[in-house]
A and B are shown apart, each in its own frame.
Chain A
Amino acid sequence: MRLLAGRPSWTTRDLTPGVRVVLGAVGLVVLLATWQAVVAYGLVPPGVLPAPTEIWPAWINEVSGGFWSQAVLDSLTHYSLGLLIGSALGVGAGLLCGSMPVVDALTGGAVRLLRPIPGLAWAPFAILWFGLNTAGATFIIAISVFWINFYAAYGAVRAIDRDLYEVAAAFGHGGFVGRMLYVVLPASAPGVMAGLRTGLGQGWMSVVAAELFGAPGVGARMLQASSLLATDVVVVYMVTMALLYALTDVAFGFLSKRALRWQG
Chain B
Amino acid sequence: MEPLIRLENVALSHDGGGSFVFRNIDLSVVSGEFIAILGPSGVGKSTLLRVLMGLVEGSEGRVILSSGSASKMGGRAALVFQDARLMPWRTVRRNVEFGLEGIGLSRTERRQRVERALALVGLADEAGRWPRQLSGGQRQRVGVARALAVEPDLLLMDEPFGALDAITRGGLQAELLSIWEKTGKTVIFVTHDLDEAILLADRIIVLAGSPATVRGDLRVGPRPHDPSSPAMRALAGRLRALIGGEEDPGVGPYARFEGI
Q: Do A and B form a real pair?
A: yes
Rounded to whole angstroms, the CA-CA distance of A162 and B74 in the bound complex is 20
Tell me if B99 and A186 are in contact (CB < 8 A): no
Is A50 located at the chain interface by the 8 A CB criterion? no
Size band of the interface chain A makes with B: 10 to 19
From B88, B133, B146, contact of A171 by CB (8 A): B146
Interface centre among A183, A260, A262, A263 (most CB of B within 10 A): A262
Tell me if B89 and A171 are in contact (CB < 8 A): no
- Give the B interface residue count (CB, 8 A): 25
From A164, A189, A263, contact of B85 by CB (8 A): A164
From A166, A169, A178, A262, contact of B88 by CB (8 A): A262
Q: Which residues of B contact A183 (CB under 8 A)?
A: 87
Which partner residue on chain A sits nearest B80 by CB separation? A170
Q: Which residues of A contact B81 (CB under 8 A)?
A: 163, 167
Tell me if A170 and B102 are in contact (CB < 8 A): no
Tell me if A264 and B53 are in contact (CB < 8 A): no
Tell me if A262 and B99 are in contact (CB < 8 A): no
Tell me if A171 and B55 are in contact (CB < 8 A): no
From A163, A171, A263, A264, contact of B78 by CB (8 A): A171
Is B219 located at the chain interface by the 8 A CB criterion? no
From A170, A172, A173, A186, contact of B89 by CB (8 A): A186
Tell me if B90 and A262 are in contact (CB < 8 A): yes
Is A213 located at the chain interface by the 8 A CB criterion? no
Q: Which residues of A contact B (CB under 8 A)?
A: 163-164, 166-167, 169-173, 178, 182-183, 186-187, 189, 260, 262-264
30 A-B pairs in the complex with CB atoms less than 8 angstroms apart: A163-B85, A164-B85, A164-B87, A166-B55, A167-B81, A169-B55, A170-B53, A170-B78, A170-B79, A170-B99, A171-B78, A171-B98, A172-B74, A172-B99, A172-B102, A172-B103, A173-B98, A173-B102, A182-B87, A182-B101, A186-B89, A186-B90, A187-B87, A262-B88, A262-B89, A262-B90, A262-B130, A262-B131, A262-B132, A264-B130
